[in-house]
Amino acid sequence: MQTNELKIYKRAVALEFIKYVFVGGLAFLVDSGIMIFFREIVFLADASRITLLISVAIGFLAGLVFNFFLSHLLVFNSRQQRARGNNLKGFVIYSLIGLIGLALTEAGMLAGVALVGHVGFRYVLVKCFVAGLVLIWNYAARKIFVYKGE
């Protein structure tokens, strides 16, 4: 790749990542809102591990679906990328990457809550930190395995 082409490519990837962070931020709000709703309303602020894991899983799955559709529309939207992601295989790979992200999220939440405790909304702060790490995993893996070649 020529120097000028490399600069253009780097800018395009940087812009794509910025859009992915924006979409990821919105998906995080969906994810966290549903997690908090289940933990605080449905499970009546029960501080057990199982209600934490269930709440995190439900929120994460809602965020995953939201992220898939919005990423497809706003982030990975070249013709070639849409063709790769706009089929069952693309969604399955996208979801498998999301499930690995869910496992990382669950492990991070358990470790973080064990570290800072269950008091109040500390688990939400843990969620913010863990989500930032998982966002990097999700972007890189989806870029490589679902939307490769762009």
With a cut of 80, say whether residue 104 has pLDDT above it: yes
In whole angstroms, give the CA distance from residue 21 to residue 71: 10
Per the CB < 8 A criterion, the answer to whether 82 and 96 are in contact is: no
Per the CB < 8 A criterion, the answer to whether 90 and 38 are in contact is: no
Look at residue 149 in the predicted model and tell me its pLDDT: 59
Q: How confident is the model at residue 72 (pLDDT cuts 50, 70, 90)?
A: confident
- pTM of the full predicted structure? 0.77
With a cut of 60, say whether residue 1 has pLDDT above it: no
55-64, 66-75, 79-88, 99-108 — which is least confidently predicted?
Answer: 79-88
Look at residue 148 in the predicted model and tell me its pLDDT: 77
